[in-house]
Amino acid sequence: MRSPVLALGSCLMLGMSLSLLAPGVPAVEKADDRTQWFRDAKFGMFIHWGVYSMLGRHEWVREMYHIPLSEYQYYVDNFNPTQFNPDEWVQLAMDAGVKYIVITSKHHDGFCIFDSKYTEYDIMHSRYGKDALGMLVKACKRRGMPIGFYYSIMDWHHPDYLPRRSWETDRPVEGADFERYIEYMKNQLRELLEKYDPAILWFDGEWEHTVEEMHSFEIEQMLRGMKPSLLINDRLFKRTPGHGDFGTPENYVPATGLRAPDGSPLLWEACYTINWNSWGYNHYETEFHSGTQLIRQLIEIVSKGGNLLLNVGPTPEGTIQPEFEARLRYVGRWLKTNGEAIYGTTASVFNRLPFFGRCTVKGRTLYLHVMGWPQDGKLRLPGLKTDVRRVYLLVDRGHSLAFTREGKDVLISLPDRAPDPDATVVAVELAGNPEVEPFEIRPAADGRLELPVYLAEIRARGEQRAYLDQFYRFTMLTNWQSVYDVPEWEFVLDKAATYEVKISYAAARSQEGSRYVVEIDQTEIPAEVKRSPTVYFPATFTVGTVELVPGRHTLRVRLVSLRHHNGMNLEKVSLIPLSTP
């Protein structure tokens, strides 16, 4: 995977390809038979494992610490994961509800965890001396688990790979031939297909070369000729939308799913780490996503038409650390009850929902993943045209919930408390295929416009940190540690007016002085974060005024600078009318 410094650039490029879903209209995807199993799977396990785990810092450790090849060779020679048990890894994946695995066959350091006849820089020449990849493939096939291979185009070890690292003064480029390296790569790719028969080839490390230099289309043709059903990700083609079988946003969720420049939907898979600071094993890591966050991340991605590829970095001994195992099992327990609302579903039919939740769809059933229980006990489905036959909770299928029509909306009566605070799934069985009118954010009868964060899209460029969470009665955007995570609302006004702009958030003393801007179309209102009663209890602050005309508008809250690595816990923005023409 990319280093933290490099990741932003690729995500900027990828972000240019995103466009909004047609409001309220689900994307109609014509699934290629080759990809149908992948579309239905929704949840995969990513495994970053190699020699770098011995240093216990990061998969980019050789580059980060400027470790010469001669010194790195010690770790290559002594890699000895004697506790590696492939059946235990596969069982853990199954317990987590994972439907496929992708593992690094070769990362940027060039070390191969498989038995390759084209190099001695592989696991067979380490102290371990066993084909770990082959062992995992056999374990997967015993359990019917599809497996794919990550393969890095970049190679810091091969003498013909160019360019060298900028700090490598002891490795001259004379005599190096990149075309010869391409032949080496093609030989290894053929070898991987012939020996191990993977379901996916997951490329990475492509940013130093053009598709012509990498012979991308020639390699694609070769691979598809060998195995027509093989899935290939977009990074062989420099992440160009529409090339490869699926897109690969890294550590962020495209705000409205992934789409081609012509607006057509793309198959995509968001890869995410359980920890925050590396893909490979990091002995010093202290920050991990909670099980709740991971469940909600899976829901968020699936509701937008994607898959989640959730990463673990095994230890140099060959074990998966307890922090990862516990969280995977936590997700698995939720999926045992709610899996039908994830696997084999399609994206939401709603462009937005007026509560903290998401929707997935399977045939004539809507699955509402409610993460913030409405205080009034009512769940509103805006603009649902199709008649409702029955509503129930997945945790209590035998008991039907009451529902009524209220104008264009359907109103569902919920129990007093959420049975599952992580995400309670409400199943809505319809009389026909779902039809929904677009839901637009408009002012209330008194002219006041409320923009809660659960109605926002979070625009992110990569390494997304911010996420929504429920704090008793408040839904807030929390862990807002990046200026590139930007909540955005679109709303419609029927009348021109001057508005007072208020913002509600929670912030501690340590966050005071962080700067932010409220952007409304072309108007920018700068402000500083002030302290609220507690970091979990919001206060409301006036930041300025704005004159707006009738029509469609966009409002964003953008962090400019942060104190103590966190901006605020944002609850909502309010526009209060002061006057109308």
| Alpha-carbon span 387 to 392, nearest angstrom | 15
Kindly report, residue by residue over 437-487, the tens digit of the pLDDT. Answer: 999 999 999 999 999 999 999 998 777 889 999 998 899 999 999 999 999
Kindly report, residue by residue over 213-257, the tens digit of the pLDDT. Answer: 999 999 999 999 999 999 999 999 999 988 999 999 999 999 889
Q: Are residues 272 and 404 in the same domain?
A: no
> Ramachandran region of residue 384, left (φ > 0), alpha (ψ -120 to 50) or beta?
beta
Which of 341, 365, 398 is at the close of a domain? 341
Count of structural domains within the chain = 3
Which of 430, 458, 492 is at the close of a domain? 430
Instruction: Output the tens digit of pLDDT for each of the chain's 581 residues.
Output: 765 444 434 433 333 333 323 223 233 334 468 999 999 999 999 999 999 999 999 999 999 999 999 999 999 999 999 999 999 999 999 999 999 999 999 999 999 999 999 999 999 999 999 999 999 999 999 999 999 999 999 999 999 999 999 999 999 999 999 999 999 999 999 999 999 999 999 999 999 999 999 999 999 999 999 999 999 999 999 999 889 999 999 999 998 899 888 888 899 999 999 998 899 999 999 999 999 999 999 999 999 999 999 999 999 999 999 999 999 999 999 999 999 999 999 999 999 999 999 999 999 999 999 999 999 999 999 999 999 999 999 999 999 999 999 999 999 999 999 999 999 999 999 999 999 999 999 999 999 999 999 999 999 877 788 999 999 889 999 999 999 999 999 999 999 999 999 999 999 998 999 999 999 999 999 999 999 999 999 999 999 999 999 999 999 999 999 987 789 999 999 999 997 66
Q: Are residues 374 and 256 in the same domain?
A: no
Exposed / middle / buried, residue 472 (Cβ in 10 Å: 0-12, 13-18, 19+):
exposed
The answer to whether position 352 is within a domain reads no
Q: Are residues 426 and 458 in the same domain?
A: no
Q: Are residues 483 and 417 in the same domain?
A: no
Q: Are residues 184 and 332 in the same domain?
A: yes
pTM summary value: 0.92
Q: Are residues 292 and 173 in the same domain?
A: yes
What CATH number is associated with residue 418?
2.60.40.1180
Q: Are residues 110 and 211 in the same domain?
A: yes
Q: Are 272 and 311 in contact (CB under 8 A)?
A: yes
291-303 and 322-338 helices, crossing angle to 10°: 50
Residue 481's domain spans which residues? 449-579
Q: Are residues 376 and 413 in the same domain?
A: yes
Is residue 133 classed as helix, strand or coil in its secondary structure? helix
The answer to whether position 18 is within a domain reads no
The answer to whether position 154 is within a domain reads yes
The answer to whether position 545 is within a domain reads yes
* Residue found by looking up tokens 């809660």 in the block: 452
| Sequence-separated (6 or more) residues with CB below 8 Å from residue 204 | 1, 2, 150, 151, 152, 153, 154, 235
Q: Are 106 and 151 in contact (CB under 8 A)?
A: yes
